[in-house]
Amino acid sequence: MGVPGLTGFVEECGAFFAELRVRDTKLVIDGSSLYYHLFFASAADFRRGGDYGPFAAAVDEFFAVLRSCGVAAFVVLDGGRGAADRKLGTLRERAAERLCRAHGLSRGEGGRVLPLLARHAFVQALRRAAVPFVQCWAEADREVAALANRWGCPVLSLDSDFFIFELAGGYCPLSAFRWRDVRAERSGRYIPARRFQAESFCGRFGQLRRSVLPLFAVMSGNDYVDVTEFEGFLGKVRLPGRHGRARGLLGWLAGFAGPEEAADAVLKRLGGRRRDAVRELLRAALEDYAPSHVNLEEFFLEGRYRCEEAEASGLPSWLLGALARGELAPLVANVVTLRSTFLHVQVEDMRRPSAHCAALPIRRVLYGLLLRAATRADAQPQSQSGALPAVCEFDRVQKSVKKTFVQAASLPAPFGEDGFSLAKLVEVPVSHRQLLLLETLGVKMSLLESVPAHLQLPVAVTCYWTRCSEPKVNLHHLKALLLMIVSGELHRITDDPELTVLHPEDNSIAYNEFLKWKEEKLQNKDFDLDAAHGFCQWQCCLEMGLYLNQLLCSPLAEPDLARLYSGTVVHGLYRDLKSTPSVENVFSSSPKLTELYQVLLNVVMSAVSPDFFQKKTEVKSESRKKKKASKKTKAVRCAVSETQYLCDVNRFASLSMDD
């Protein structure tokens, strides 16, 4: 949630904060705020698709500092949108704002946009650092507050709603949590921080009671309430000067003993026609600040996440558990409960169809698995044609966020209508689950056998992306991407003492040469929008490949995003390959890495036709295709290319074979 302007209002009056030395305590952390804060504090790139390595390193450092001060951190992440979908309007507004910022970045303007896989990289970093975390069914604010109050410890967040919750241990804004400035004294190390003092805040406005702060938040317009509902009333209490509306409303609320009395006074000032609707709005909104009945302590102690709304969804218990453990993305809950999802914008070429179009066939298979279960759970009949329900996708169309409907794929046995239900998906043999994943990506396992296990999924995705991207990627795109993956392997080897003993001298030389290349070449700040669009499509394909792999209970190993993708590296390699082809030999001093690069390149080249990367000479034919694609953009969700269509044809033929 969040109350617009409240953070600025509170922080401008520093008397509302007390100095705090954070050590030897539990600390409940709002995970969504933390990964947003750490990503932009880590100086990681976000214009070129993200540098997940520096981001993951910042996450590791953050929790190492907490441990050194005796702080036991517990991270709570937001989940899906919830069955009521009350924040839909706010989410659409924020999606439009992100799109505006991304468009500005694509043109060289300021701003910042969180890269597509930042949240996924954060979850991986938490697991690697053995930090306990939970992913809630819906928004996590109430559960964060309830857990902190159960333990009597502080909450760490950037969400202004925590100024409103009654918190026994107080609220520490991340902006005032100086974790890079650890200090030591005789009693031990501590992190300097500031804690919000609600009593001081209320005392500033006479007899203001803490119990009416939720009504202040609601009438100020939080994520669930449109402030225009109260615009006429607020105009009457507004005071002159900065933050006049907030100061006037707080002063007016100080005259009431509790929120019910104040709410009645508000309703009396409204017209009779609006009164009932606003009464219901206030009732629902005030509940958002009431204690949650979900006991997260039970999850952290015993691994059980019990939530009535989650259990009412009809999803099988194994899947609910995987969602709570962060093994499945919130998209899963949104598709099943709402048949709707937001596809997050990146810094891409806004003149072209959304980069997410490249991954459409993968999403259709994902929806096919999920919606078949949803149809059975709520007993809604399928259409007369036998087609599964569609999913409403909010995605970029040119420079606007539009909603379109995508039909789920019809799946073959043993995943089709007469086969295993989603509840029994874990019982499907691994070979069948792996085959569905690979057939979706258009790759055979025999082609991947020469690839290290932890790289098989991204290489399969790369084969898919090479064939299905639109406009078609060129050989420089592919080579830059594969060289970037090899550079990640080099970092992995040099960082792991057990792996360093293998070819230590060769790898050390290659590592130093690569660092030298980075220092010399990455000073160039030029931005290639065409290249960016292609690599955005790759991330979209990887994201959905990861989600499908997770839903199928990981028949392939999940790659480490911190070592897999670096936007600055891949853009630098792409730029150099166009002018200096010799950069392809950047790892020549290491036979092992050179061999790995050749293996990856040969696998992808084997997955496309021999003449795939040859330039076309028929200019007229190319022009006709562009016109055809332009017409498609107007008629359908996005201009799904002819190549993508071919990617979707007969992908499941081999699944009808016996295991």
Query: Residue 316 pLDDT more than 90?
Result: yes
Query: Residue 645 pLDDT more than 70?
Result: no
Report the distance separating Cα 28 and Cα 149, nearest Å: 10
* pLDDT at residue number 516: 82
- 561 or 641, which is more confident: 561
Any bridge partners for residue 156, and if so which? 29, 172
* pLDDT at residue number 503: 55
* pLDDT at residue number 649: 42
Cβ contact 546:457 at 8 Å? yes
* pLDDT at residue number 555: 98
Above pLDDT 90, what percent of the chain? 66
The tokens for 59 are: 């996450």
Report the distance separating Cα 307 and Cα 616, nearest Å: 57
Binned at pLDDT 50, 70 and 90, residue 44 comes out as: confident
Tell me the pLDDT tens digit for each residue of 173-197. 999 999 999 999 998 999 999 999 9
What does the mean pLDDT of the chain come to?
88
Tell me the pLDDT tens digit for each residue of 420-439. 788 889 999 999 999 999 99
Q: Is 385 helix (H, G, I), strand (E, B) or coil?
A: coil
Query: Residue 106 pLDDT more than 70?
Result: yes
Q: How many other CB atoms are there within 10 angstroms of residue 162's CB atom?
A: 26
Tell me the pLDDT tens digit for each residue of 218-256. 888 877 777 777 877 888 888 898 889 999 999 999 999
Report the distance separating Cα 440 and Cα 368, nearest Å: 12
Binned at pLDDT 50, 70 and 90, residue 78 comes out as: very high
* pLDDT at residue number 504: 63
* pLDDT at residue number 286: 82
Query: Residue 648 pLDDT more than 80?
Result: no
Binned at pLDDT 50, 70 and 90, residue 283 comes out as: confident
Closest by CA to 526, choosing from 575, 478, 565, 561, is 575
The tokens for 480 are: 């830059």
Binned at pLDDT 50, 70 and 90, residue 271 comes out as: low
Report the distance separating Cα 317 and Cα 17, nearest Å: 43
Domains contained in the chain, CATH given: 6-209 (3.40.50.1010), 339-656 (no CATH)
Please report the DSSP string for 558-624 in residue order: PP-HHHH-BHHHHHHHHHHHHH-GGGGGTTTT-HHHHHHHHHHHHHHHHTS-TTTTSPP--HHHHHH
Tell me the pLDDT tens digit for each residue of 377-425. 443 434 444 557 899 999 999 999 999 999 999 888 888 766 678 888 9
Report the distance separating Cα 34 and Cα 123, nearest Å: 11
Which ranges constitute the DSSP H helices of 141-294?
A: 141-151, 198-203, 213-220, 231-237, 244-253, 259-268, 272-287
Instruction: Name residue, tokens 């946009």.
Output: 113
Report the distance separating Cα 65 and Cα 67, nearest Å: 5
Beta-carbon contacts of 485 under 8 Å, excluding residues fewer than 6 positions away, are 455, 458, 459, 564, 600
C-beta contacts of 226-234 below 8 A and 24+ residues apart: 226/89, 227/4, 229/274, 229/278, 229/281, 230/266, 233/266, 233/269, 233/270
Count CA atoms closer than 13 A to 478's CA, side-chain side. 27
* pLDDT at residue number 231: 77
Instruction: Name residue, tokens 């098989």.
Output: 456
Q: Are strands 188-196 and 17-22 parallel, antiparallel or unpaired?
A: antiparallel
